[in-house]
Structure 1
C-alpha cells in the first residue's frame, strides 16, 4: 500500500477542507492548502518527476528544504511517483549535503532558494543528480523553479504500486564521518507509525496538530501523520518566539503537538516573567503538549503543569530507527507519580532490557534498551553489516541504557552512545573531533555534552594544545566554520587540558564528564 494514497482519498471526501496551514503572526501572513489543492499539486509534481526526471520505483529524491506547504507537496509527490524521499536537515553544511546525496545516489534534489549557498559549491560534484528543483527566490541558474515544474506537470491522478515492505523514506542520522546511516522506512512502517501515534495521542479528523519543528526530524513529521491520514489539519507555526507561538496556537485552535524542550521552556519563562499572559489567549482547544527528543528536566514538566493546568503533558521516547517518538510514552496521569520516567511501550511495541550477552534483565537492573514492533526501520540502507548488528531477531538495539521499575515503567540510566542532543538536534562528537584534530595547534581533543538551561545540552570541547602553543576559543570557532561544519555543531564551551585515554587508546570520556560536568557543577 502506497502511503501517499491518503492524498486522493481525503481530497475525494473533503475537497475544500484545509489540510496544511503555514502561519507568520508578526507578518499577518497565513498560507494554506485544502485537500483538493494538495492532491492536485502532488499529482502534478509526481507526474513531472516521472516524465521529465525519469524517476521510477525505488529511485531516490533528496529534499533539502525548510518547513513549508511545498515541503509536504514534495514529500508526498515523491511517494506517489514510486520514489524514495530523503529529507535532509536544512542546517546541514554543503559537505553534509554532498555526503548524503552521494550515499543515496539521488537523481533529483529539491532545495530552498534561501539554502542555495549550500548547493551552489557542490552542484557540479553531484554527478548522480540530473535535476535540481528550487523553491522560492534567489535560485541559481541551473535550478528548475518549483512553479515551473508544477505548471508543466500533468494533473492526472498518479499513484505508483507499492508493497508494504518497499522503501519509502531515508532519514540520515549521522554526519560526514563514520559509516553511513540512512535509516530506511517502508510504506508499511510509515502506516504503522501513523496509526500508533494516532492511538497514543487520540488524534483524528478534529485534530489541529502543531508542527513547529523541522519536518526532516522524525518526531515532527511522524507525529503529524495521524492528521494526514484522517483529514485533520497540520499547523506549521513559522515563528517560534513565545508570543508568536501562543498567537498561532490560539488563532488556529490547535489541539496538541510535540514541542521541544527549548521552545516550551521559552514559553514557560515568558509567562513567568509576565512577558505574555496565558489569559490573553484562547487555549480551549489545546488538549496536550508532548515533550521529548531529549531528556526532559523535571522542572519543565512541573512548571508546565502549574502554568497550564488544563493542558495534559506527555513525555515521549523514540529514535528514528524505531519510528521516532512514541515507541515509549509517559501519559499525563503518571507525570507526577513517575517523575523522570519515559513511560511504557506504545501501541504495537514491545521493549526489553538486556545485558551485554543479550540476556533479559529483571526490574531495577540497568542494561541496553531493545524495542520491537511494526514501526521499526527496515534497515540501514546500503549497509547490511550495520543493520545486522542493530536488528537481531526482530529486536532493535537502541544503544541507550535504561531500567524498569517494579510496575514496568522505563527510566534512562545513561546513553551508551556519546550523542549530544542540543535543543532536539543530534550532534555526534566524533565528527567535531575529527575536524578539530586537523587544527595545526591541537594535539588531541574530546567533545562532550555540557548542561545548558535552555538547550539542555551544548557541545563542550576539551582541547589539548601542542606543547608550547596557545590557542584561543575564537580560533577554534573560526576553524569549524572554515572547515564547513554546520553552526549548530560548533563547540560552545571550552577547556584546555590533557586528554585522558585508556590503554586501548580510547578517550576516557567518563572522567572528563566527572571533571567538567559532575564535579564542576556544570551550568552554561
Structure 2
C-alpha cells in the first residue's frame, strides 16, 4: 500500500471530517457544508459507476458554471475519470473537433448550449450517455440530477494521485485546441503552492465567477477548498451580481482578467459598496487598475507567470512588491531561462522559460510528438521568454515567435488559427495577425490583410467571416489592408516588420 497516497477526493474526505459544518459552497439555491458536498459527490460517483463508466474514461462538459459541474470534478477524482471541459464560447464546428479527439463516454450540456450541440447530438452515435444539467430532461438528453444515487456506497477502483484528472484546453495551434492533461497530483501541488504563497486559509472565500473550463477557475476554487475556505459559485459573470455577492458573503479572493476588476470597482462605487472584505486579487490587469485597487481597498493584487500546462502560477508576487516583475519561482517550481540551444542565459538576459516540478502537466492529450518536443531535455518548454534580475525576480518579456499568443480578456488565441480563416476569403493573398494593447480587454486582435490590386473588401467583412467560422472572441477588433506585406529573405511574412508599420491601433 502506498502511504504517500493523497488525491483531490482525499482532500474532500479530510474537509468533511475536519470542517463538516463549515460552508463549502454558496450557490444560487442555497449553500452546502463540506459534509453536504462530500455526500453529493459520493452520490454522483455512485450513479456514474452504475452507468458503467469506468476508470480512465472521459466526460465532456459544455456548460456554464453549475453546482453539479463543480461536484463532477470531485466525482471524477474519486473514480479516476477524466473531466474534459469545453469552452462554451466556441462554434459548433470547434466543439465537434474537440469531442472527436476526446472520445467521451458522456456528454453534459446545459440550457445555454443545447443549440450548439444539436447537430453533434444528431450525428454522433459513439457517445453512449447524453445529459443536461438540472432536473428537467429534453429530447435526446437525460436530466443530470437523475445520475445522483445516494442509496449505496460507490463500489469502484480507488483513484491514484498520478491518474489523469482533467484536460484543460489551451489555444488552437493545429485547428483543434490542444488539451493539457493534468493529474490530481498536479492540482494538489498547485493548491499547496497558492496556499503557501498567498496564505489562503479556512476564513477565505473565493468568488468562483470565471468559467470552470478555465485553469484559473479550477485553481482558485480548489486551492480555496483545499485551505478549508468557501466558494461562491456564479453561473455566469455579471458585474452587479458579483459586486453584491462580494458584499453579502464577505468574499476575500477573486481572480480577474480585463475588464473584470475595473468593472466590479465601478459598480461597487455606483452601488456604494466598499469591497472591504477583499484580501487577494490575482490574474492579469492593467497597472492603473491595480493601483486603483490598492488605493481604494485593503486587497493586494498578485501578479505572476503561469500556464494551463503548469496548473497555474509558476512565479507569483504581490504586484506592489516589485512593480513590473512576475515574481519569484514558487516553492514547488524549478525555473530556468535558456537560449535556443537550451543553454542557461546570464542574469538580465532574456531566455525561454523552462519549468520542472510536480505542477507541470503530463502532456498534450492525444499529441505524443508535440509532448515529446515540449518536454525535451527533461524540462517543460513554455514558449515564453523572460529574464531574471539579480534578486531572483522574473520579468516577462514576450512569447517566442513559434508560440505567439494573444490573450483578449484572458482567452487564448493563436494568430495562426485566425490567419488560416482569413486566408479563406476571396482576394486575400496574405495576412498577419497579432496582439495590440487594449484598455478594456488588456489585449486585442489586429489583422493586416494583403489584397493585391485593391480588392473590394471591408474590415467588417473580415471580422464577420472570422466570427462565422470560429469563436467570436477570436475575431479581429482592428483590420487594416495593404497591397503587399513585408517578407523575410525566406519569403515568409516579416512579422516584426508588420508590427513596426501597423502595430498601433487605428
Give the TM-score, by structure 2 length.
Answer: 0.92
Is residue 89 of structure 2 the alignment partner of residue 91 of structure 1?
yes
Secondary structure in 2 matching 1:454: coil
Query: After superposition, what is the alpha-carbon deviation per residue over 1:269-305, rounded to whole angstroms, capped at 9, x for unaligned?
Result: 557xx5354xx4362x32222233xxx4322222222
CA distance in 2, matches of 1:216, 1:179: 16
2:472 to 483, 487, 490: 487
The question of whether the paired residues in 1 share the 8 Å contact of 2:334 and 2:357 is answered with yes
CA distance in 2, matches of 1:188, 1:133: 29
Is residue 288 of structure 2 the alignment partner of residue 302 of structure 1?
no
Give unmatched runs, 5+ long, in structure 1. Answer: 24-29
Aligned residue in 2 for 1:318: 306
Is residue 219 of structure 2 the alignment partner of residue 222 of structure 1?
yes
Cα RMSD between the aligned structures? Answer: 2.3
Structure 1 stretch 457-466 or stretch 194-203: which is displaced more? 457-466
Secondary structure in 1 matching 2:112: helix
| Residue 84 of structure 1, CA deviation | 0.8
Aligned residue in 2 for 1:329: 316
The question of whether the paired residues in 2 share the 8 Å contact of 1:114 and 1:136 is answered with no
How many residues are matched?
A: 498
Is residue 245 of structure 2 the alignment partner of residue 258 of structure 1?
no
The question of whether the paired residues in 1 share the 8 Å contact of 2:201 and 2:228 is answered with yes
Aligned residue in 1 for 2:274: 281
1:499 to 475, 485, 495: 485
Query: After superposition, what is the alpha-carbon deviation per residue over 1:242-270, rounded to whole angstroms, capped at 9, x for unaligned?
Result: 54332211210112232223111223455
After superposition, where does 1:326-405 map in structure 2 within 5 Å? 326-332=313-319, 334=321, 338-405=322-389
CA distance in 1, matches of 2:451, 2:138: 42
CA distance in 1, matches of 2:286, 2:497: 23
Secondary structure in 1 matching 2:174: coil
Secondary structure in 2 matching 1:62: strand
The question of whether the paired residues in 2 share the 8 Å contact of 1:422 and 1:458 is answered with yes
1:436 to 412, 415, 422: 422
| Residue 514 of structure 1, CA deviation | 1.5
Give unmatched runs, 5+ long, in structure 2. Answer: 1-5
The question of whether the paired residues in 2 share the 8 Å contact of 1:114 and 1:138 is answered with no
Aligned residue in 1 for 2:140: 142
2:120 to 119, 122, 125: 122
Query: After superposition, what is the alpha-carbon deviation per residue over 1:387-430, rounded to whole angstroms, capped at 9, x for unaligned?
Result: 11111343211111111111111111211122100011111121
CA distance in 1, matches of 2:91, 2:476: 16
The question of whether the paired residues in 2 share the 8 Å contact of 1:211 and 1:257 is answered with yes
The question of whether the paired residues in 1 share the 8 Å contact of 2:195 and 2:227 is answered with no
CA distance in 2, matches of 1:466, 1:144: 54
Alpha carbons of structure 1 residues 282 and 496: separation in structure 2 relative to 1, 3 Å: closer
2:70 to 69, 72, 75: 72
CA distance in 2, matches of 1:139, 1:502: 57
After superposition, where does 1:133-172 map in structure 2 within 5 Å? 133-136=131-134, 140-150=138-148, 154-157=151-154, 160-172=157-169
Aligned residue in 1 for 2:23: 18
The question of whether the paired residues in 1 share the 8 Å contact of 2:133 and 2:143 is answered with yes
CA distance in 2, matches of 1:368, 1:173: 19
The question of whether the paired residues in 2 share the 8 Å contact of 1:82 and 1:159 is answered with no
| Residue 354 of structure 1, CA deviation | 0.5
Aligned residue in 2 for 1:32: 31
Secondary structure in 2 matching 1:181: strand
Alpha carbons of structure 1 residues 103 and 505: separation in structure 2 relative to 1, 3 Å: farther
CA distance in 2, matches of 1:179, 1:213: 22
CA distance in 1, matches of 2:157, 2:194: 25
Aligned residue in 2 for 1:41: 40
Is residue 207 of structure 2 the alignment partner of residue 210 of structure 1?
yes
Structure 1 stretch 64-73 or stretch 125-134: which is displaced more? 125-134
CA distance in 1, matches of 2:11, 2:156: 10
CA distance in 1, matches of 2:53, 2:377: 34
Aligned residue in 2 for 1:173: 170
The question of whether the paired residues in 2 share the 8 Å contact of 1:43 and 1:158 is answered with no
The question of whether the paired residues in 2 share the 8 Å contact of 1:32 and 1:69 is answered with no
Secondary structure in 1 matching 2:359: coil
Secondary structure in 2 matching 1:39: helix
Alpha carbons of structure 1 residues 70 and 462: separation in structure 2 relative to 1, 3 Å: same
